Structure 1
């Protein structure tokens, strides 16, 4: 199977590229930037496009129009070109942010309600792809929660770095959906092999507590960090409606029935193995 992965310099695209190339399963994988001259991209012989290229949410932000151009219009144009050139499947990476700043459980009855231009642009792209999809052009839309793994950027790295200098951390028993890069790779592989379509919500086998994650990271790195229930109570009272607090310690998770796919064989790595691999920064693809 000949596969094109977009997002040449992205973390997920790089990890997926290495994973598929490590497998002896007939994948021929190409990784390419598609930010310019999209109409001239040669997709001849490509069976599946995994579209990971996009404009992610940054602290300083970009003009709203740029999010729409990159995340929606570029996606639509790439999909139209792929369909015209005979590509059989288009896998689009959307985001949990299409649900907005939800708290608690997301189920099949939870309405999409993006509150950031990033989330809105991804949802617009989803709608465009659903219009383009057909029996001969399967579209799979993936809405992952936070992705983590060895050498990953983003919130996991910030938390891991913070733990290595912090003497104390609050005990707060929250519940979050996350997905380890190894489990995500297996999921994408299965979707390609099965040529599945639809909207997919994925996560690790177990929900994650931020405090439990901190304990695991500290143990692996032989760090002595004190977990304080009193500090947790104080923070929860003072900052309970603070967006940063909710992002770190709030409950936000997919219901388990929403994330069932192929008997969940994609959930290959459990929490302890995932954190161990992430912290030791070992390759999974040798």
Structure 2
């Protein structure tokens, strides 16, 4: 199977190319950075378009809002239009984000919920999703994937802050928060992509990608400490005090603010039931704890 891949230099792209069986899949990569990228599309050559390229969420808000619009929406729209005209291409897989659905969820995130993103990143991803859904072809398969926080060796992502805190024996001051968060190991993600590519009957639509279990940040700290061979110190500072400190951080533009506090202590549970049912999967290869341990173990050797 020939796959046209954008975003090959990213963490997910690199892992997919390294993991998927070469005897089954041949990747033809395409960079969208150049204005003349359309001239380089191998039209009528690839059965699958896999679109990973995009600008990632920027918590510091340093990126201009127009960049999100241009990269996450406009380029996606243009590539999708090329796909629609490509006679050989039968499947389009778009890597969106769970942030296209919600930033501060109050319930388990399933595919049937009404999207309400707050950030420019989430809004740009949702706009791309809507364009695709408004132009679904009857003779092709179009799959929109919304992964939650992806992690793995060489890409600690938002785990980096917690890893450093435990490494340097910094007390965990957020013990009073009882939350649940979903994560997605790169191994489970690659497994799901392989199953999608080898299952022609997959229906067009939106699918959430996450590990099977969600865990509390307190448990995550314990996993990190145990894997690093460190002792974690947990402090149960009252929530009101920490929330007020975060609000002060919002006003003074400090590193610790409400957005950072929510990333660390907020509940963010994502259901992966729909994609597992569609692919006939009962259980993903790695448990949440196994995947997180793999990421932390890489950190110890890095």
Q: TM-score normalised to the size of structure 1? A: 0.88
Check the 8 A contact 2:83/2:89 in 1, yes or no.
yes
Q: 1:104 to 1:267 in 2, by over 3 A?
A: farther
Distance 1:27 1:278, change over 3 A: same
SS in 2 for 1:227: coil
Change (3 A) 1:266 1:91: farther
1:95 aligns with 2:113: no
State the shift of 1:87 in Å: 1.1
Structure 2 partner of 1:76: 77
Alignment RMSD, CA only? Answer: 2.3
Q: Does structure 2 conserve the Cα–Cα contact (< 8 Å) formed by 1:174 and 1:251?
A: yes
Instruction: Give the TM-score of the pair, scaled to structure 2.
Output: 0.84
| 1:151 counterpart = 2:154 | yes
Q: 1:109 to 1:81 in 2, by over 3 A?
A: closer
Question: What's the secondary structure of 2:28's corresponding residue?
Answer: strand
Query: Does 2:192 align with 1:187?
Result: yes
Structure 1 range deviating more: 268-277 or 86-95: 268-277
- State how far apart, in whole Å, the 2-side matches of 1:182 and 1:34 are: 26
Distance 1:248 1:25 in 2: 41
Residues 81-230 of structure 1: pairs in structure 2 closer than 5 A: 81-85=82-86, 86-105=88-107, 106-169=109-172, 170-171=174-175, 172-195=177-200, 196=202, 197-228=204-235, 230=236
Aligned length, in residue pairs: 279
Structure 2: gaps (5+ residues): 248-257
Q: Does 2:268 align with 1:252?
A: yes
> C-alpha displacement at 1:153, in angstroms?
4.4
Instruction: Identify the range of structure 1 (165-174 vs 8-17) with the bigger mean alpha-carbon deviation.
Output: 165-174
Call closer, same or farther: CA 1:161–1:246 in 2, change over 3 Å: same
Distance in 1 separating the partners of 2:33 and 2:169: 40
- Larger deviation, residues 56-65 vs 46-55: 56-65
Q: Distance in 1 between matches of 2:16 and 2:31?
A: 15
Greater strand proportion: 1
**Which of 243, 246, 250 is matched with 2:259 structurally?**
243
Single out whichever of 6-15 and 107-116 deviates more from structure 2: 107-116
Which of residues 273, 278, 285 in structure 1 aligns to 2:295? 278
| Native 8 Å contact 1:187 1:266 kept in 2 | no
- In 1, distance between residues paired with 2:286 and 2:186? 9
- Using the alignment, how far apart are the partners of 1:266 and 1:129 within structure 2? 30
Structure 1 pair 56–160 and aligned structure 2 pair: CA distance change class (3 A): same
For structure 1, which segment, 92-101 or 238-247, has the greater mean C-alpha deviation from structure 2 after superposition? 238-247
Where 2:269 maps in the other structure, the secondary structure is strand
Structure 1: how far apart are the matches of 2:92 and 2:111? 23
- 1:80-121 deviations in whole A, cap 9, x for unaligned? 112222211110011111223323322345211121111111
Measured after TM superposition, the shift of residue 19 of structure 1 is 0.8
Q: CA deviation at 1:264?
A: 3.2
Question: Which piece of structure 1 moves more, 174-183 or 238-247?
Answer: 238-247
Larger mean Cα displacement after TM superposition, 77-86 or 230-239:
230-239
Q: Give the 3 Å change call, closer, same or farther, for CA 103–133 of structure 1 in structure 2.
A: closer
Change (3 A) 1:212 1:42: same
Report deviation, 1:72.
1.0
